[in-house]
Structure 1
Amino acid sequence: MTTTCPRPEYPRPQLVRTHWLNLNGEWEFEIDHGRSGRARNLAASEPFSQKIVVPFCPESKLSGIEHKDFMAAVWYRRTFTAPADWQGKRLLLHFGAVDYDTEVWVNGQSVGTHRGGYSSFAFEITNFVEAGENVITVCAEDDNRSGLQPRGKQSSLYHSHGCDYTRTTGIWQTVWLECVNETYISSLKFYPDPENACVHVEAKLDGQISGDTQLHVQATYDKQSVGSAVAQACTTDVRVTVPLSEVHLWEVGAPRLYDLQLQVVQANQVVDTVDSYVGLRSVSLKDKAILINGKSVFQRLVLDQGFYPDGIYTAPTDADLRRDIELSMELGFNGARLHEKMFEERFLYWADQLGYLVWGEQANWGLDITTATGLERFLPEWIEGVERDFNHPAIVGWCPFNETWDGPKNARQNDEVLRIVYQVTKALDSTRPVIDTSGNFHVVTDIFDIHDYEQDPAVFAAKFEPMKQGGEAYNTFPQRQRYEGQPYFVSEYGGIWWNPNQKDEKSWGYGNRPTSEEEFLQRYEGLTTALLDNPNICAFCYTQLYDVEQEVNGLYTYDRQPKFDAKIIRAINTKAAAIEQENLVASGSTDK
C-alpha cells in the first residue's frame, strides 16, 4: 500500500486557488454487497476491514484491492485536519467523480448526496468540521445492470467482453478540500470573441453581495498584460467584457492561451483570487464544413476510450494523460472523440495546452432511453458536465449520446429524450455544434455522422462515391434517420483487428483479421484515403488509439507500445494535407 499521494496535481485547472488540500491516498474501505451499510451504521462504525488507494477504483491494481466482481455498494473513510490558517473560512469538499449514487458524511453527519458517475460535485462542510481531526465517510452504490444509469464501456457481464471492459465502482477521481472566504467565485464561463478582440466573462459568486462588491479581471499573454476590466456586482451573477490589445488565436497544433486572474473585491479588500486561462477561438459551420476561427479544418480524429491497464478509468499519473494526446498527434491525428465517458478535467487541460481537438461525450450505454425515465437519469448529470467543461477551447463539439440502439424487447428509443437533450445542450452552449447521438438514430443534429466498419477498402469507398460526385449522401439507417445537408462526419470506421502478440479466444476486433502487417497498412490506407479524398466529408474518427483488454484494434497496445512505425501512419493520415496545402496555401482556408 503506497504512502505517497497519488495524482497530486491540482484537479481543476481552469479555476485555481492557492489554499487546497489533496485527500488522495490511503482510505479505509469496505465492500457492502447487501447494501446494508446504513442499517449497520457504517458511517459511524469501527474501522473498515480493508485499505484502498484513492482515487483508483477497487477493481484496479493501483487501488490495492483488485476486486473484479460486481459490488452493490462500497464505503470509504479517512481523517483530515484542516490547516490552522483555515480557521474562520468556508470549507468545500470536492469529488472529481464517484460512480454512481453517492452520500457523504463528515463526523457522522450527512452533508449531501449526488447521482452520477462522471460529473464533478462538491459540498460545503463548514458547519460540520470540528477543531482537530475530522472523519469523512463516503458510500457509493452502483448497479450498471439496472438500465437506470449510464455505464459507458463498463461490462454488464461478469467478464470483460467485446468492446466492454472492466467496471469502475466508487471514487475514481481526486478528492480534495478547498477553503474560501465568505464571498467567492463559484463558477466561470468564458465566451471568446476573436472577431471583436475580447473575451466575455460570466462569473457566479456565492456569499454576501454588498454595494461595493466588484469583479476584477486581468488578462496576460506570454506574461505581458493585454487587457483588464472591472464590473460592479449587483447580484451573484456578474458579466464583464475584457478587451484584448493583442489577438492570438487558439488553433490546431498552435495552442495560444491567455492567462486570466479574477478577483472579488469588497471594501477595497481582495476576498477571492482565482487563476484561469482562455483560448481565443470560434467554432462555426458553413458549406458542409466545420470552421475553426473561420477556416475549414478537416478533423482527423481517433477514438479514445480513456482506459488504463492498472488504473481502469483513472490514469496513473497526470503525465499519462498528456502522453495519450502526444501519442495520437505523433500518428498525425489532430483530435479525438472522447468515447462513452466524461474525461477528467486534467485531460482537457492538456488538450487545451497542446492544441488538440476533442468532442465531449457522455457514457450513455446501459441507460434505457425508451421512456422519459431515461431523460430524468441522464440530463442532470449531462448539464453538470457541460457546465464544468464549457471553457475548454479544445472541446469543439458536444455528443451526449453514442449509438442509441433500441431497448429491451425492441422498444424504440424515445426520440423526445434525444430532442430535449439536444435543445438543452444548445441552450447551455450556443457556441459549439451538437451531435444528438453519434452513429444512430439521429433526431435533430448539427452534424450528420455515421459509423461504418466495412473492412474492404473498395466496398467502403464505393459507399461514399456518390457523395464525392455531389450526389446523395450515404445513410446507414435511411428508415430511421434523414440527412438534411449538414456537415458529414464518419465518426467511427476501421477497427482493424491486429495484435499478433494477443491471439487468445477472447481477442476481439471488427471484421476479418489481416494476415500480415503489410495487409493491415494497405487496408488502413485504403479506408482512410477514401475519406480524406472526399470533399463532402468534413471529419473522420478511426477506431481506435490503443487496445483495451480484449479489444485489439488499437494503433498502440494497451500499455501504449507502438504496433507500427508512427511515420507510416502519420503519412497516411496527413497525405491529403500536403496536397491541400500546396493548392490552398495562399488562402489558408483548409487544413486537412
Structure 2
Amino acid sequence: MTSAMPKPEHPRPQLIREKWMNLNGTWGFEIDAGDSGVERGLTTRELTGEILVPFAPESTLSGIEHVDFMEAVWYRRTLSIPQEWAGNSVLLHFGAVDHDATVWVNGVEVARHRGGFTPFTADLGGVVEAGADAVIVVRARDSRHEMQARGKQATWYNNTHCQYTRTTGIWQTVWLEAVPEVYIKRLRMTPNLADSSITVEVPISRNRTGHTVSAVLTDCSGTRIEASARADLDLTPSLRLSIPVEALRPWSIEDPFLYDLEVSVRDGSGGIVDQVSSYAAVRSIALDRRVVRINGKPVFQRLVLDQGYWPESLMTSPDESALIKDIELSMAAGFNGARLHQKVFEERFLYHADRLGYLVWGEFGDWGVSGGGTIGHNQKPTASFVAQWLEVLKRDFNHPSIIGWCPLNETHQILHDRLTVLDDVTEAMFLATKLADPTRPVIDASGYAHRIRETDIYDSHSYEQDPDRFAIEQQGLADGKPYINRKADGEEYSVPYAGQPYFVSEFGGIWWNEAEARQAVEGTDVASSWGYGQRVSSEEEFYTRFDGLCSVLLDNPDMFGYCYTQLTDVFQEKNGIFTFERGTKFDLDRIRASQVRPAAIETRRDGS
C-alpha cells in the first residue's frame, strides 16, 4: 500500500482556515461481513488490512477492489494532534461516507451520520487535546437490504444497464481542522445583481459581547469592499457588501469572475479570533414565462448528463486534474453545463465549475426511488432523503455555477392513485429547497412524475432515437401541450403543465462503440454492452442522429435548454461522447458544430 497522500487539496474551497490537516492516505481496514464488529472488539483492536482513503473498497485505487456486497466495513487510524493547535478545539470532517457511519475517537463515540452523499463533522472537544494521539475508528454500514438513497449503485451483484459498481464507506476526503471557541461555522452568500451587492450571513459558535464580524471583498484590480457587524445581537450576524458600479463584474459563462473574500471574527480589542478565506460572485437567475434568464439574459442551456464515475476510482475522482478534465472535455464538445447526475459531487468539482463558467444543476442520488422493495431495486423514500438534501443545500448554496436544483429523478407515481410516502417526500424536498434557497429554480422531480403544481421548471425525458419522430413528439410545446412522460397504456404521472420554462432534461443516449460494432458485424456476442434504442451502425450515422436530435431542441424557440445523455461511457453503458477512460470517440469539431448555433438562436428565446 502506497503511503502517498491522494487528493491533498483543501476539500472545502469556500471556507479555508490555515490550521487544517488532510487525513487521506493509508488507514487500517477490515470487512465486517456479518456486521458483528462491535461484538468482536473492532472498536479497540488493530484491523487486519489496509486501504487508501478516500477511495471506496470496491475501487482499484483503494488497494482492496472487493466488489461483492459488504454489510459493514471498518477503518482505523492513529495520529498526533499538532501541538501548535493548543487552545483550539479540533473538528473531524468527513466529506462523504456511504451509508450509515459511526465514529469513535479514543474509544468515545463522537458522531453518527446516515446518508452516503453528504458531509458531517465531529467536534473532538474534551476527547483529544493538542499534542496528544487520536485513535480514529469508523464503522460504515451499507446493507443491500436497507432502503436508502443509492443513485446509480447496483443493488444486485452485477452491473447491468445503467446501474454501476457500488460504493461503500469513505469516498471523499477526511480532514481535521483547529477552531477557536468563537469560530465561523459556515458562510452563506446571497448575491443581489440589481442592488450590486452581496449579503454574507455568518453563523458563529458563540455570540460574545464585544466581538464583531467583518468581511473584505476584493477584485483583481485591488478594489476593497468592507463591512462589519456586531456579533452579539443576532444568532447569525449579517453583512452587506455594496459593490461600486465600476467594480461590478457579474459571473457568467463568458466571464466567470470570482471576488476574493475574507471573513473574520474580532474581539473587543480588535484582535482576530477566527478568520476564513473564501470567494464570492454576483449572478442572478430569473424566470419569464418559458425563459430562464441569467443576469437578465436568456442563455440556452446545452447540458450534458455527467454521472461522475471513473473506472479506477468509481464515484471518487482519482485526482484533481480529473475533475478539471471532465469540465474541459464537456466544453470542448460544445456543452456549457451539466446535470450532475445521481450523486452529490465533490465540492472541488463545483469550485472548478465556478471558475471556468460551467453551468450545473445540483441533484440528489435517488434514481428509481419508486421502484419498490425488491433486492433488485430498493430505493425508497425516507426522512433521511429530506435530511440529506438539506445538507446538500447547506453545503453548496454559495456556488454561482449551480443554476438549479433537482431533488428527485424519475419517480413513477400515478397521477390519480392514492397518496404515498413518496408524495410526502416529494413535497417536503420541494418546499425545503424553496425555503433553503429562494434564489434558484427548483424542479420537483426530473422526468415522469411532476407532483407539485407550482414547480419552477417542467421537463420530460425522451430517448426516441429517430429525429423525425422526436420532432413530432416535441412540437406541442408552442401550444402549451409539451411532451410528457406517460405509462405505456397512456396513464399519466404528472400534474398538468402550467406554462413553466420547459426542457428535455434527458435525451439522446446514442449507443455506439466502434470495437463492439465491428464485433457485431463479425457475429460476436456483445450483449454485455448497453445503450438506448437501436445501436447506430457507423460513426457517420452517429453524427447524423446526434445532429438531428439536437436540432429539434435547438430550433425550438420555446425550449430553454436540453440535457444530452451522456458525457462518458460508464462500464457497460456505451452511450458517452467520450470513453469511460476519457478517450476520444468522435470528431469534437462535428459534435460542437451540431450544438453551437448563431447568436440569433439565443435572441429568439427572449420571452417576447
Q: TM-score, normalised by structure 2?
A: 0.92
Aligned 1:47-446 pairs, distance under 5 A:
47-130=46-129, 131-147=131-147, 149-207=148-206, 209-222=207-220, 224-233=222-231, 234-245=233-244, 246-267=247-268, 268-365=270-367, 367=369, 374-405=381-412, 414-444=422-452, 445-446=455-456
2:514 is matched with: 500
The structure where strand makes up a greater share of residues is 1
Of residues 455, 480, 490, the one that matches 2:493 is: 480
Offset at residue 413 of structure 1 (A): 6.6
- State the AA in 2 paired with 1:515: S
Aligned residue type for 1:252: I
The secondary structure found in structure 2 opposite 1:275 is: strand
Q: CA 1:287/1:411 → structure 2, altered by over 3 Å: closer, same or farther? A: closer
Contact 1:370-1:412 within 8 A present in 2 as well: no
Aligned to 1:439, the other structure's residue is in SS state: strand
Report the alpha carbon displacement of residue 410 of structure 1 after superposing the two structures with TM: 11
Q: Is the 8 A contact 2:368 2:409 kept in 1?
A: no
In structure 1, the residue matched to 2:523 is: none
After superposition, the C-alpha distances for 1:110-151 in whole angstroms (9 at most, x for unaligned) are: 11101110011111012111543221000000024422x100
Identify the range of structure 1 (413-422 vs 430-439) with the bigger mean alpha-carbon deviation: 413-422
Farther-moved stretch of structure 1 (422-431 vs 215-224): 215-224
- 1:516 and 2:516 aligned: no
Measured at CA, do residues 447 and 383 of structure 1 come closer, stay the same or move farther in structure 2, by a change above 3 Å?
A: same
Equivalent residue for 2:465, pick from 444, 455, 460? 455
Which whole-Å CA distance do the structure 2 matches of 1:331 and 1:4 have between them? 34
- The aligned residue for residue 36 of structure 2 is 36
Q: Is the 1:253–1:334 contact (alpha carbons within 8 Å) kept by the matching residues of 2? A: no
Give the letter for the 1:6 counterpart: P
Contact 2:214 2:239 in 1 (8 A): no
SS at 1:128 equivalent: coil
CA distance in 1, matches of 2:482, 2:337: 24
- In the aligned structure 2, how far is the partner of 1:559 from the partner of 1:4? 23
RMSD after superposition: 2.0
Matched, 1:560 2:570: no
Conserved? CA contact 2:480–2:499, under 8 Å: no
Match of 1:491 in 2: 505
State the alpha-carbon separation in 1 of the partners of residues 144 and 558 from structure 2: 39
Measured after TM superposition, the shift of residue 479 of structure 1 is: 2.1
**Distance in 2 between residues matched to 1:370 and 1:317, nearest whole Å:** 36
Would you say the 8 A contact 1:145–1:366 is kept in 2? no
- For residues 507-549 of structure 1, the C-alpha deviation after alignment (integer angstroms, 9 at most, x for no partner) is 0000000100010110000000000000111110000000000
What do the CA deviations read for 1:12-38 (whole angstroms, capped 9, x no partner)? 001011110000000000000100001
Q: State how far apart, in whole Å, the 2-side matches of 1:276 and 1:336 are.
A: 24
Query: Which residue in 1 is equivalent to 2:476?
Result: 466
- Which segment drifts farther, 277-286 or 220-229? 220-229
CA distance, structure 2, for counterparts of residue 228 and residue 62 of structure 1:
45
Q: Check the 8 A contact 2:7/2:173 in 1, yes or no.
A: yes
Instruction: Name the CA distance, whole Å, in 1 between partners of 2:369 and 2:380.
Output: 10
Q: Give every structure 1 segment of 4 or more consecutive aligned residues whose post-TM-superposition deviation is greater than 4 Å.
A: 366-373, 409-413
Task: Give the equivalent residue in structure 2 for 1:8.
Answer: 8
CA deviation map 1:494-519 (0-9, x unaligned): 00000122463210000000100010
**SS in structure 2 opposite 1:126?**
coil
* Superposition deviation, residue 406 in structure 1: 5.1
Residue 366 to residue 460, structure 1, CA distance change in 2 (3 Å): closer
Write the letter of the residue equivalent to 2:344. Answer: M
Question: Would the aligned equivalents of 2:370 and 2:411 in 1 still touch at CA under 8 Å?
Answer: no
Query: Which amino acid is 2:535 matched to?
Result: R
Supply the AA of the counterpart residue of 2:405.
W
Deviating more after overlay: 553-562 vs 471-480:
471-480
Query: What's the % identity of the aligned pairs?
Result: 48
Indicate the larger mover: 275-284 or 373-382: 373-382
- Other structure's SS at 1:280 match: coil
117-126 vs 66-75, which moves further:
117-126
| Contact 1:399 1:436 (8 Å CA) reproduced | yes
Structure 2 gap segments, 5+ residues each: 374-378, 520-525
* Residues 89 and 471 (structure 1), Cα distance of their counterparts in 2 relative to 1, 3 Å cut: closer
Q: Secondary structure at the match of 1:224?
A: coil
Q: Which amino acid aligns with 2:451?
A: V
1:542 and 1:410, CA in 2 relative to 1: closer, same or farther beyond 3 A? farther
Alpha-carbon distance in structure 2 between the residues aligned to 1:51 and 1:263? 40
